[in-house]
């Protein structure tokens, strides 16, 4: 195995920074959501409109980014999207009306979508240059950023307006300072023809299968974010125990992503994804059926660990079809993330929450069954 070039290593460090920053922004926004709602005197229904605006903006950004992303345009999309995202976060902190929040949230989501496509497309090309998997470690940087920022948002005494503004300005300064490195991205990767990926055409059936599997995986992430704490609390867990449920899930996912690249190097990608999905299904099923707080906490941890490599591997497979394929899989996947919590809530209202939480476990098992068909011939 040849050693990556110095330019490829610099690109990896740069992209790690972009993924880290993306995790920081999303965690800061999510953790201080109650403060945003209180400052603008929003009802729960009105807050849901703000979140819907962000979701619609993200879908539009993903689709637009997929159409515009070409190797030579990736630096512009990365910098422009990142500055737009940081700026939108700063503006969101100053909004005090529903109308202003809707506009800012739409811009925030659109910028997020553009950065997501550009960063993942650039990551696929950088991985081509390395000749070995690095995608999981880049997504681990996102998880680290989210964990650190969530802790900061929870403990910082400053108002959400100041926190959003300070975060936005800091990240904007970082993006601008990294401008020369960002514009040097073009040409630091191997030509797609040399690595077997990047500009080919994926069969439509396989592309949509990748998207459906991404949606299945991200539905589990949405379930963990919105229902893990509720689940543990319903079992009689303390407030602290309930709050730790998603943190443990995130810790499991971060750990899995830190080791994911070594696993996919040692074994083939379908095997790693299949084993992880089976582990996730078994962990969550056991945690739900055991009906105890310790088992539930362990189950959510194992669920995060098992799903950790799924999305990075699916994005890598989509990358062989170029940025438009990455955008298609991302859009489909985020539909699962956005719709999943509501679907589980609807199922819980007609059955029970433990029964509803078996859905992401079932989808993880389905992912394990279909992993080989979706990921066959996937190469770093």
What is the secondary structure of 191-240 as a DSSP string?
Answer: -HHHHT-SS----HHHHHHHHHHHHHHHHHHHHHHHHHHHHHHHTT--HH
Length of the chain: 380
Three-class secondary structure of residue 321 per DSSP? coil
The Cβ of residue 200 has, within 10 Å, a number of other Cβ atoms equal to 13
Instruction: DSSP letter for 72, please.
Output: G
The two tokens of residue 45 are 């229904």
Q: DSSP state, 267?
A: S
pLDDT tens digits, the chain, 380 residues: what are they? 567 778 888 888 999 999 999 989 988 887 787 788 889 998 877 887 888 888 889 888 988 887 887 777 888 999 999 999 999 999 999 999 999 999 999 999 999 989 988 898 888 888 888 878 888 889 899 888 888 887 787 677 688 899 999 999 999 999 999 999 898 876 555 544 444 444 556 788 888 899 999 999 999 988 887 788 888 888 988 877 887 887 888 889 889 999 988 888 888 889 999 999 999 999 999 999 998 999 999 999 999 999 999 988 998 888 878 777 888 888 888 888 878 887 888 888 888 889 999 999 999 999 999 988 888 765 54
Q: What angle do CA 124, 128, 132 make, to 5 degrees?
A: 105
pTM above 0.75, yes or no: yes
272: left (phi over 0), alpha (psi -120 to 50) or beta: alpha
CB of 107 closer than 8 Å to CB of 63: no
| Structure tokens, 178 | 């990294």
Q: What is the dihedral of CA 298, 301, 303, 304, to 10 degrees?
A: 180
């Amino acid at each position: 195995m040849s050693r990556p070039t110095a330019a490829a290593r610099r690109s990896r460090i740069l992209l790690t920074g972009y993924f880290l920053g993306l995790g920081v922004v999303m965690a800061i926004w999510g953790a201080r959501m109650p403060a945003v709602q209180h400052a603008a005197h929003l009802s729960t229904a009105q807050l849901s409109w703000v979140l819907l605006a962000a979701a619609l903006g993200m879908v539009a950004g993903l689709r637009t980014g997929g159409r515009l992303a070409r190797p030579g345009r990736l630096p512009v999309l990365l910098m422009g999207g990142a500055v737009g995202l940081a700026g939108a976060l700063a503006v969101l902190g100053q909004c005090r009306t529903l109308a202003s929040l809707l506009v800012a949230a739409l811009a925030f989501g659109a910028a997020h979508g553009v950065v997501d496509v550009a960063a993942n497309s650039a990551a696929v090309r950088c991985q081509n240059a390395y000749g070995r998997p690095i995608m999981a470690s880049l997504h681990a940087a996102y998880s680290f950023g989210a964990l650190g920022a969530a802790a900061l948002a929870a403990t910082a005494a400053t108002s959400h307006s100041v926190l959003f503004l300070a975060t936005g300005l800091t990240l904007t300064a970082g993006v601008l300072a990294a401008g020369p490195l960002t514009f040097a991205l073009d040409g630091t990767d191997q030509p797609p023809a040399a690595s077997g990926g990047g500009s080919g055409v994926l069969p439509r059936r396989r592309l949509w299968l990748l998207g459906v599997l991404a949606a299945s995986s991200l539905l589990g992430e949405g379930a963990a974010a919105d229902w893990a704490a509720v689940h543990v609390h319903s079992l009689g867990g303390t407030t602290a125990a309930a709050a730790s449920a998603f943190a443990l899930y995130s810790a499991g996912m971060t750990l899995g992503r830190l080791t994911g690249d070594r696993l996919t190097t040692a074994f083939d990608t379908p095997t790693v994804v299949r084993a992880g999905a089976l582990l996730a299904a078994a962990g969550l099923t056991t945690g739900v059926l055991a009906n105890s707080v310790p088992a539930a906490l362990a189950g959510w941890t194992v669920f995060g660990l098992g799903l950790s490599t799924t999305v990075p591997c699916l994005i890598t497979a989509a990358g062989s079809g170029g940025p438009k394929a990455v955008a298609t899989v991302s859009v489909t996947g985020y539909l699962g993330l956005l719709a999943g919590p509501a679907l589980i809530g609807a199922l819980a209202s007609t059955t029970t929450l433990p029964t509803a939480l078996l859905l992401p476990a079932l989808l993880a098992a389905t992912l394990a069954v279909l992993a080989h068909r979706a990921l066959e011939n996937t190469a770093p």
